[in-house]
Chain A
Amino acid sequence: MKNRKLLILLSALLLLVLAVVGITGAQDEPMKIAFVYVAPIGDLGWTFMHEQGRMAVVEEFGDAVETAFIENVAEGPDSERVIRNFADDGFDLIITTSFGYMDPTLTVAEEFPDTQFVHISGFLTADNMSNVFGRMYQPRYLSGLVAGSATESNIIGYVAAFPIPEVLRGINAFTLGVREVNPDAEVRVVWTNTWFDPPQEKEAAEALLAAGADVIAQHQDTPEPQKAAADAGGFSISYNSAMLDFVGQSVLTGPVWNWGAKYISIVQEVMDGTYNGSETYWGGLPEGVVDLAPFSELVSEDTIALVEERRAAIEAGEWDVFCGPITGANGNLVLEEGSCLSDGEMLGMSFFVEGVVGEAPEDASDEPIGFPMEEVLPRGDQIGMLGEAMD
């Protein structure tokens, strides 16, 4: 009997404690943000940079946010389970960071209309699901200026993962930069057919170095091509993260992701209730989502000045990388002077520009594409066009 009394007393006490915790908890409950990653956070590349973005959010908002992430989530049914678990656990904002999470994110977004979802690198949106990506081709072009100035053999190697529009866009933007400062240089592409395989990325870079390349650029997930270039006494242009920190001064510069900039603004807007939950966002250098890594001390002042000049033109919206005249690798004029590629055309890019040597999925067409534009449209209109192109 005595035990039962004690039990009742304890239960009552427990209830009281829970109630108090519940009340105080409700007063300043932090905003809960979840991230779903496709690779381990230690990949030094794509996922590493998203993790940096998450940490930037934590640093900016401190106790006002509570973040969680799950790494190495396979695309497909696994990811849907992970996303739904986060939504079930009451997360307010869920950011899914791989192309293959698009459909699962959409499915879960429809089930949880009060939760905000942000999908990276896709093209679908919903009332509570936005689509966010970055104009990586802009810093790639700038890094091409640096590579073109640095090469002496006039052969630049490019270790590339898969011949898809995103990668082709990067190779082309890079080559346009290279050829602008060095019309004699060529960019040789080796396809690895893998995003992430350190030994293969190294071997591909070594093959390019053996073929006479003295600068190595890449579209892969690890710094192995950079290490191979450094070992052979060459230079390199990195990708994803500032690999100069891991490899040394032979890494001249490189395009980098800077997700923190966008993540912080999304979180702030969601807190304020002003976020456009179904936005389609393709931010570039002006928005700070993409950037150029710090220059190596081996880059000359003249080159840096040229890069800064071009960057200023892009940031001011006066000019963009894929504005004519642009010639295809087969010698046909792809884009006439005075025209610029639309976002839709850039997102579907399937040819090489002049100066690229490698297996392209298809040749540039005989007819120039694009349409005349008197000036580059403001960002918002371009995004409108992007939406149309996707329909």
Chain B
Amino acid sequence: MNADLIISILSIALVAGTSLVFATIGEIITERSGILNLGVEGIMIMGAVIGFAAAFHSESAWIGVVVAMLVGGLLGFVHAFLTITLRAEQVVTGLALTIMGTGLASFLGQELGPEGGALVGLTGPRFTEISIPILSEIPIIGPIVFNQDILVYLMYVVVIAATYFLYHTRSGLHLRAIGESPQTADAMGVDVFRLRYLYTIVGGMLIGLGGAHLSLAYTPGWSENLTGGRGWIVIALVIFASWNPWRAVVGALLFGGVNAIQFRMQASSTDIAIPATLLNMMPYLLTVVIAVLTTWMQRFNKLIGAPAALGLPYNREERH
């Protein structure tokens, strides 16, 4: 493989992985607070369709982004209300959100177009590549990292901000605390209910943003089932990343890059040493390996393990 090929593969992997990074960090924040949200697929696709519709009608891609985040936040609120206030089973609620989101997105795709028609096949505003002066001329790194659409740059900011927030601020400590031991956090005077609401909504907003990257930058436009199961990849990625934003980036590059690599191998008609199907399986295989390791090895689990109170509703009156 020559340098050009590697650059083009990494560049594609980065942009293909961007929607995954947004959604994965959103889900990490939600899960860190102790709430499991399996509605990622539904929220992403709702963000994609409504984001595109808003951008189309307002003729501004940025308005699309904002609306997609609001929709994601709203669905996050629905999940929070059902699981925190009503203490509904989180897995079932999340699945319901996904089923509802995908169905509603198909419906809206047929209704939100001009004059109540379909959105399918329309072209609207989109984000295109912006190459950053000077930085984009750095050999190898420049064309990969600094020649992307603006949402990719926003992704860098989100990753850095999320990491800083989680590990270097008091609020981040509170976030991690309510997911590890809500009783202790409560005793410390942290408002568990309010924060769980907040982070489920914030997580939903980032997941919606991930959907918007698909319909406004990566594959601009709306077509049914646009997310194609990426929401489920996100669920796997969170485990793969062991609830850490930086590892989420590595995982998203891997998940996003695998297709780019195997397609390019096929297209350049080189003799493929690894079958494409095996290559496609790798990220999932690694996820399974990590999931096995976390349950199998106590020490490994302490190092990267899931938030201890993940999926458990918090009830002040009960002793845990």
List residues of chain A with CB under 8 Å of any chain B CB.
39-44, 48, 72, 157, 188-194, 196-200, 202-204, 206-208, 210-211, 213, 222-224, 227, 245-246, 357-359
Q: Is B144 among interface residues, defined by CB-CB distance under 8 A?
A: no
Q: How far is the CA of A357 from the CA of B265 in the complex (A)?
A: 12
Could you give 23 example pairs across A and B, Cβ below 8 Å?
A41-B110, A42-B106, A42-B118, A44-B120, A44-B121, A157-B267, A188-B269, A190-B263, A193-B277, A194-B228, A196-B225, A197-B228, A198-B214, A198-B223, A198-B226, A200-B259, A206-B12, A210-B267, A211-B268, A213-B267, A227-B219, A227-B220, A246-B221
In the complex, what distance in Å separates the CA atom of A40 from the CA atom of B220? 19
Residue of A nearest to B218 (CB): A199
* Interface residue B42 (Cβ < 8 Å from any Cβ of A): no
Specify which chain B residues have a CB less than 8 angstroms from the CB of A210 in the assembled complex: 8, 264, 267
A199 touches B268 (CB 8 A): no
A44 to B122, CA, bound (A): 11
Asked if B266 and A191 sit within 8 Å, CB to CB, the answer is: yes
Determine which of B110, B228, B269 lies in contact with A200 in the assembled complex, contact meaning CB atoms within 8 Å: B228
Binding site for A on B (CB under 8 A): 8, 12, 16, 106, 109-110, 118-123, 214, 218-221, 223-226, 228, 230, 259-260, 263-264, 266-269, 272, 276-277, 280
Report how far A210 CA is from B267 CA in the complex, Å.
Answer: 8
Task: Report the minimum CB–CB distance from B255 to chain A (whole Å).
Answer: 12
Chain B residues with CB under 8 A of A41: 110
Instruction: Determine if A42 and B109 form an interchain contact, defined as CB atoms under 8 angstroms apart.
Output: yes
| Contact indicator A40/B267 (Cβ below 8 Å) | no
Identify the closest chain B residue to A204 (Cβ): B263
Q: Which residue of B is nearest A248, CB measured? A: B123
- Min C-beta distance of B75 to chain A, whole Å: 21
Say how far B228's CB is from chain A's closest CB, in angstroms: 4
- Chain A nearest CB from B143 CB (Å) reads 13
B-chain residues with CB within 8 Å of residue A194 when the two chains form the complex: 228
Q: Are B223 and A358 in touch, CB under 8 angstroms?
A: no
Task: Kindly list chain A residues whose C-beta atoms are within 8 Å of the C-beta of B8.
Answer: 210
A233 CB to nearest chain B CB (Å) = 14
The answer to whether B259 touches A358 (Cβ under 8 A) is no
From A40, which residue of chain B is reached at the shortest CB distance?
Answer: B224
- Report the separation of the CA atoms of residues A138 and B65 in the bound assembly, to the nearest whole angstrom: 44
Residues on B with beta carbons closer than 8 Å to the beta carbon of A39: 224
B267 pairs with A188, CB closer than 8 A: yes
- Chain A nearest CB from B52 CB (Å) reads 12
Q: Which residues of B contact A208 (CB under 8 A)?
A: 263, 267
Q: Chain B contacts of A189 at CB under 8 A?
A: 266
Give the contacting residue for B224; candidates A42, A203, A211, A224; CB below 8 A: A42
Q: A207 contacts B106, CB within 8 Å?
A: no
Cβ–Cβ < 8 Å partners of B219 in chain A: 198-199, 202, 224, 227
A357-B264 contact given A199-B16, A199-B214, CB 8 Å threshold = no
